Amino acid sequence: MGRAFEYRKASKLKRWGAMSKLFPKLGKIITMAAKDGGGDPSMNARLRTAIINAKAENMPKDNIEAAIKRASSKDTASMLEVSFEAKAPHGVQFFIECMTDNNTRTVANVKNILTKHGAEMLIKGSLEFMFDRKAIFEFALKDTMDLEELELELIDAGLEEIEEEDGVVIISADYKSFGSINSALEDMGIEILKANLERMTTSPISLTQEQQVDIDKIIDKLEDDEDVQKVFTNIA
């Protein structure tokens, strides 16, 4: 099976189960998108995508609107997107993506979590070769759709792979093709369910159940931090 299916499988098993943690993280993305490109989704593709992803996680409309409004508040601090790379026990590698208004705090928090659990932060760029950055889109398969025809129409936009599972079409492309794929789907009148930039390991490893428990503890602690958006690993 292809890389898009691997993403779909991982997405189903993601640990962002608690709404109390998830909604504030989604809200940050919406606020940042609105602050950078304006609060009108029809004129701001990044905001449009952020709202689509928030709705996919059942984020209430009031929360979404509040996040957009925060972008125009003078009290709203500028947000930075930062990432960290780390080495954990059992040969596991972490790529940690964050969004923060205080980089010093975020660095200290992430480093503290890693150190307490036998992991260590690496020099930036150490793991770039171990992860492929991909644009992933999901949309519902309609009776009128033909996957082969869709593939041909999207190749020029940068499509690398297209698959269908349980009535959902998952397509992947290089991360640089995110905008062109997004525009092509919108031009075709396809309603996007989710659209994300993901990091997929190039050398997946397998863990024992006991080893997985150790790693899950670290991931849970990282994802509990308000600044951490996503944690990617090289686990198969």
Above 70 in pLDDT, residue 12? no
pLDDT value for 13: 46
37-50 burial, b for 16+ CB within 10 Å, e for fewer?
Answer: bbbebeebbbbbbb
Query: Which of 3-7, 34-38, 90-94, 210-214 is predicted least confidently?
Result: 3-7
Indicate the pLDDT class of residue 18, thresholds 50, 70 and 90: low
pTM for this prediction: 0.86
Residue 109 pLDDT greater than 70, yes or no: yes
Q: pLDDT-based confidence at 76, cuts 50/70/90? A: confident
What count of other Cβ atoms lies within 10 Å of the Cβ of residue 66?
Answer: 13
Q: What is the rounded average pLDDT of the residues 65-88?
A: 89
Asked whether residue 21 carries a pLDDT value surpassing 90, the answer given is no
pLDDT at 1 over 90: no
